[in-house]
Structure 1
Amino acid sequence: MTSRTHDIDDGWAWVVLAAVYSGQLLLSTAMYTAGVLYVEMLDYYQDDATKTSIIGSLNSGLLCLLGPLVSICINKLSCRVTIFTGGVCLMLAYLSSAFVSNINLLILSIGVLGGIGNALSSVPFTVVLVYYFERRRNIVLILSQAVIGIAMFLASPLALWLLDEYGLKGTFLIIAGFCAHLCVCAVICKPSVKEAKYKQYKYVFVAAIGLLTGLPNSLATPLTLTLVGVENISIAHGLVYFFCGIGFVSGPPLAALLLEGTGSYENSFFMSGAVLLFGSLMAVAAKIRLRKAQKERKKTNDESSGEEITTLFEKNQQ
């Protein structure tokens, strides 16, 4: 146990960090090819735009909506097993998609199975970092979001090049290969001493942090950690993803309906801007609420301290 304790912020933690960043890069790159693949699938299958958009909607939305279920998997099994299972699901999703002949089957493969794989892989990657780092935790978590940003930058040009060189079916096979490497990353993420400790407890956590997803993604995990502590991070992070999933699932179909109904992308952009504005207003309201609660707690603590001093003084007088 002593040797495993030394792996917090040191030793094996750095190997886990490399594995998590690599896994997040592969996973996010696969996820953010969705926009380019959507256009190609429209052209390849010649099906309804709204129906085709459901593939990306489920793929991204289930990532978030299944957050609470993934949290249970992490607590009952481990981060390693959960990530490994997600990698297998994603590999099978894209591998099977290379052999299907219509959009309905793609909704089941990339949409449903791929969405489940995204959820099982994405949530525990963040939780693993929380368990393996203490002193450097915030910087490690923020840099993990930077890795996702790099994937966003690379995904579209990579998808375009793959489609040009190998076609849609070949691209599915290559992405399946990317996802298979998540299993390797999972094997490296062995349970830390902290994860083994916290799995002994049952957690009860009800949070509205998911409503604050208008805040920068890089601050979401550190903020959640500050609010609930390390012992509740897996449940909390799962619920954050759940509330985000509501937007992921509803957004693409609504945008597609607006496009088909108006023949212009303008209304879709207006809708997106309204959602971002609402998220910003919620963030301001939460900040005001938090300051008020802090002032009330401070006032209560000051009154309690004053009463204790008075009581102690009276005892000394007697």
Structure 2
Amino acid sequence: MSNSRGRRTSKPVGKDSDLPDGGWGYVIVVAVFIVYFLQAALTRCAGVLYTSWQIDFNSSAAETGAIVSIMSSSSFFAAVMASVVVNRLGCRFAWMCGGFLMFAALVLSFWATDIFQMYLIGAVTGLGIALCFTAAGVASAQYFNKYFAIVSGFTSSGIGLELSIVYIVYVVYIVPMALDYGFEPLDATYLLSVMGFESLGGRAISGFLIRPNVSAEAVFGFSQLLCTIGVLCMQAEGGGGLVTSACFMGIGTGMCSAVSYVLLRKIVGLHNFASAIGISDLFGGIGDLAGPIFAGWMYEELGSLVVVFYVLAGLQFIATLQIFLMPLLKKLEPGIEDDDGQTHPVQE
């Protein structure tokens, strides 16, 4: 992929004011949307396939949850490597390599006969996701400045969830939780559809919410608050509580996914964007690796998912509190000065 001057999209396009905000960028937006959609489908299917994996491989809850943990965490851990590939070899090369790895891993999963083979397949898939995800995020940022918030909202509409310790555990265990409440298997999977549908709305409106008088930090904090309410609603027994929970989590994760890149670029600037994605995803990988495994262990020890979701609610509340403390962090760290001499602070 190259711009009109023949430069790779991994190289800085120039100052933010030089970004085209259109043209070939619209093709990039469609491509990013498709990439995000396909990647999200892989992780969302985990909740649907959880019970089948557990039966087919005769595995425990923790062992089964580890499949998703490895896939998701490896996509985060490999993001540092992916950012280096994007910076040095370009978005197109990273995109093609990531797509090939994901394709190869999914084809090989057809012949998997034990859970350890699924662990390896999950790791390779995660590596492919890291390459595609990082390249997609950087490519859209290098073509849009004025409309980046709106573009981020549209492209992330293809994502069904935000990958972190709370979100990944929620997606993996919401279907088993529904089955414990007496849902039919097909009806339980509809909860993921409800969450995905609501997330579309959250992503669609998030880009339009960011205005001169409404900061990305405020929208991001509001999205975290919605997620906290969503996790707490899981404790209300019955179909109404679970559907309400899925709605709140869908809207919250949708807004969070769309605004996260806007907020990250605002803090570090365009020239540091690819590296920042890699570093932030590295920390996210820790939660994704430990989350489903720890939740599965708690489920086996306690025999109930209720306590698991109470713990998730507590973690989500801590995350929400941290976001609302960002004005204080602004005083401690004003931001990073970009190559064009502009400082990108965390503004109120």
User: Given the superposition, is the C-alpha separation of residues 7 and 18 from structure 1 closer, same or farther in structure 2, using an over 3 Å criterion?
Assistant: farther
Q: Do 2:33 and 2:156's aligned partners in 1 also have CA atoms closer than 8 Å?
A: no
Structure 1 residue aligned with 2:113: 101
1:68 is matched with 80
Corresponding residue pairs, total: 239
Give the Å deviation of 1:142. Answer: 2.1
Kept in 1, the 8 Å contact 2:73–2:287? The answer is yes
Distance 2:134 2:224 in 1: 19
Superposed CA offset, 1:234-285 (max 9, x none): 0011112111111111100010000000000011101211110111122122
Cα distance between partner residues in 2 of 1:118 and 1:293: 31
The percentage of counterpart residues that share the same residue type is 25
Q: Deviations over 1:153-193 (max 9, x none)?
A: xxx99xxxxx99xxxxxxxxxxxxxxxxxxxxxxxxxxxxx
Structure with more relative contact order (C-alpha pairs < 8 Å, separation 6 or more):
1
Residue number in structure 1 paired with 2:152: 141
Distance 2:224 2:278 in 1: 17
Shift of 1:146: 2.4
Query: For 2:285, which of 245, 248, 268 is the aligned residue?
Result: 245
Structure 2 unaligned segments of length 5 or more: list them: 7-12, 168-173, 176-184, 187-220, 226-255, 335-348
Please report how far the alpha carbon of residue 24 of structure 1 lies from its aligned counterpart in structure 2 after TM superposition.
Answer: 1.2
AA aligned opposite 2:56: Y
Query: Match for 1:259 among 299, 305, 318?
Result: 299
Superposition deviation, residue 293 in structure 1: 6.1
2:314 maps to which residue? 274
The equivalent of 2:235 in structure 1 is: none
* Structure 2 CA distance for aligned equivalents of residues 16 and 217 of structure 1: 18
Any residues of structure 2 matched to 1:2-17 within 5 Å, and which?
A: 8-17=20-29
Unpaired runs of at least 5, structure 1:
158-162, 165-211, 295-318
Matched, 1:77 2:117: no
Larger mean Cα displacement after TM superposition, 10-19 or 228-237 = 10-19
In structure 2, the residue matched to 1:20 is 32
- 1:219 Cα deviation from its structure 2 partner: 1.8
Name 1:125's counterpart in structure 2. 136
Classify 1:95/1:247 alpha carbon distance in 2 versus 1 (closer, same or farther; 3 Å). Answer: same
Distance 1:285 1:11, change over 3 A: closer
Q: Report the Cα distance in structure 1 between the residues aligned to 2:41 and 2:305, rounded to whole angstroms.
A: 25
Distance 1:116 1:45 in 2: 24
Secondary structure of 1:33's aligned partner: helix
Paired residue type of 1:133: F
Moved more, 143-152 or 28-37: 143-152
Is the CA contact 1:13–1:132 (under 8 Å) kept in the aligned structure 2? Answer: yes
Larger Rg: 1
Code of the residue aligned with 2:70 in structure 1: it is L
Taking structure 1 as the reference length, what is the TM-score of the superposition?
0.68
Cα distance in 1 between the residues matched to 2:34 and 2:296: 33
Contact 1:63–1:119 (CA under 8 A) maintained in structure 2:
yes
CA distance in 2, matches of 1:268, 1:226: 35
SS in 1 for 2:111: coil
- Cα deviation, residue 11, structure 1: 2.2
1:129-158 deviations in Å (ceiling 9; x for gaps): 001112211210122222214999xxx99x
Distance of 1:10 and 1:3 partners within structure 2: 16
**What does residue 286 of structure 1 align with?**
326
Q: Which residue identity lines up with residue 280 of structure 1 in the other structure?
A: T
CA distance in 2, matches of 1:35, 1:79: 31
Q: Which amino acid aligns with 1:237?
A: I
8 Å contact from structure 1 (residues 25, 150) kept in 2: no
How many angstroms apart in 2 are the aligned matches of 1:11 and 1:2? Answer: 10
Q: Which residue of 2 aligns with 1:113?
A: 124
**Over 4 Å off, 4+ runs:** 1-7, 212-215, 291-294
Structure-1 separation of matches of 2:311 and 2:55? 26
Q: How does 1:297-312 map to 2 (within 5 A)?
A: none
CA 1:293/1:98 → structure 2, altered by over 3 Å: closer, same or farther?
closer
Structure 1 residues 21-60: aligned runs within 5 Å: 21-60=33-72
Which residue identity lines up with residue 286 of structure 2 in the other structure? I
